Amino acid sequence: MQRVGYAAILLFAVLVLNFALMHLAPGDIADTIAGDMGGADAEVMAEIRRSYGLDLPVWEQLIKYLGGVLHFDLGYSFYFNMPVVTLLLERVPATLLLVVAAQILAISVGVLLGVIAARQPNGMASHVVTLIALFGFSAPVFWTGIMLLITFSLWVPIFPVAGMQDVTIDGNWFERMLDVGRHLVLPVITLASVFLALYSRLCRASMLEVLGSDYIRTARAKGLSTREVVVKHALKNALNPVVTLAGLQFSAVVSGAVLVETVFSWPGLGTLALQSIIARDTPTILGILFFSALVVVVANLLTDLVLRMIDPRIRSSDS
């Protein structure tokens, strides 16, 4: 419960800070509306700001906004002409699908590569994992996405170019799921590439440390097979730093999704954020920032829960 209280305080601080930063930035929705109208005089601009409540003092706007958040009201999108909550609910599933799938792929493949490299630290497998990690670290996410797009959508047209689904498909739910899966492959690989490199290197280092410990030597002396030693004894303890890093890196995964969604025209929060920033749609931007912070906080709470499940020492230290 204490961690939940800290999370609530953190979300409140994020709300206030984001609101303050957005109102310190130059320009607002009135400038965008005036630009679409071809220009407006001072009187018209003042009327636009009054109609949207932008003429109120900043502190009064903040109190009004916080009161709305408490009632699950994130405001009204001036640009998209609908409630922000409705707009987010339309885009959230696509972003969550991309982010969660990328994390699962990065953790599972990263741990697998790390274990393979740790079993033969000076072998060819370890060198290959190091090369993969170096490529993942050095290649920008948008560059990786563009290269995959050119290779597997244009040169070798295996996967779709953009979007989340083919609107011409009018089949059953299974066919539509397969279509979404085909659209998901390249964005997930792109987003997972950087974090796969992180997890594989960390898992390799952690496994090497655990494999050199006394209880592992004792397990081998008892005649246990290499597979039993690695899977049942070493891997469980070596996963702790990987799980911790995965929780800490979730914010980076969410921010990386913005670039990936832009490259692949994925209809999620990243594309919505870009459109809202260009339109200076402050309520929508604030809603996206709040939801992103909420996802990161929940991910960190789940990380603590998973650590307690895989490591009994953490449970005993808290009791």
- Express each pLDDT in 179-225 by its tens digit: 889 999 999 999 998 888 888 888 888 888 888 787 778 877 877 77
User: How far is it, in rounded angstroms, from Cα 289 to Cα 293?
Assistant: 6
- Token pair, residue 201, equals 């290197």
The CB density around residue 73, as the number of other CB atoms within 10 Å, is 13
The 3-state secondary structure of 168-226, one letter per residue: CCCCCHHHHHHHHHHHHHHHHHHHHHHHHHHHHHHHHHHHHHHHCCHHHHHHHHCCCCH
- Token pair, residue 165, equals 């689904």
pLDDT at 101 (0 to 100): 92
pLDDT at 318 (0 to 100): 54
Residue with tokens 């309520």: 283
User: How far is it, in rounded angstroms, from Cα 284 to Cα 300?
Assistant: 24
Residue 187: strand pairing partners:
none
- Please give the chain's pLDDT, 319 residues, in tens: 677 788 888 888 888 898 888 877 776 677 767 766 666 677 777 777 777 777 778 888 888 888 888 888 888 887 888 899 999 999 989 998 999 899 999 999 988 888 888 887 778 878 888 888 888 778 888 888 999 999 988 888 888 888 888 777 776 778 888 888 999 999 999 999 888 888 888 888 888 888 878 777 887 787 777 777 777 777 877 888 888 888 877 777 888 888 899 889 889 888 888 888 887 888 888 898 888 888 888 888 887 777 777 666 555 555 5
Residue type, 105: L
By CB neighbour count within 10 A (0-12 exposed, 13-18 middle, 19+ buried), where does 117 fall? buried
User: How far is it, in rounded angstroms, from Cα 68 to Cα 281?
Assistant: 17
Query: Is the CB of residue 272 less than 8 Å from the CB of residue 279?
Result: no
Residue type, 177: M
Q: Which domains does the chain have, with CATH numbers?
A: 2-73 (no CATH), 91-318 (1.10.3720.10)
pLDDT at 189 (0 to 100): 92
The continuous run of DSSP H or E covering 87 comes out as helix 84-119
Percent share of the chain, pLDDT over 90: 8
User: How far is it, in rounded angstroms, from Cα 121 to Cα 128?
Assistant: 11
Decide: helix, strand or coil at residue 133: helix
pLDDT at 37 (0 to 100): 66
Q: Is 165 left (phi over 0), alpha (psi -120 to 50) or beta?
A: beta
pLDDT at 27 (0 to 100): 67
Closest by CA position to 293, among listed 15, 4, 2? 15
Count how many Cα atoms sit within 13 Å of the Cα of residue 204 in the half-sphere of its side chain: 25
Closest by CA position to 116, among listed 100, 127, 105, 107? 127
User: How far is it, in rounded angstroms, from Cα 133 to Cα 130?
Assistant: 5
pLDDT at 173 (0 to 100): 78
- Token pair, residue 96, equals 């969550």
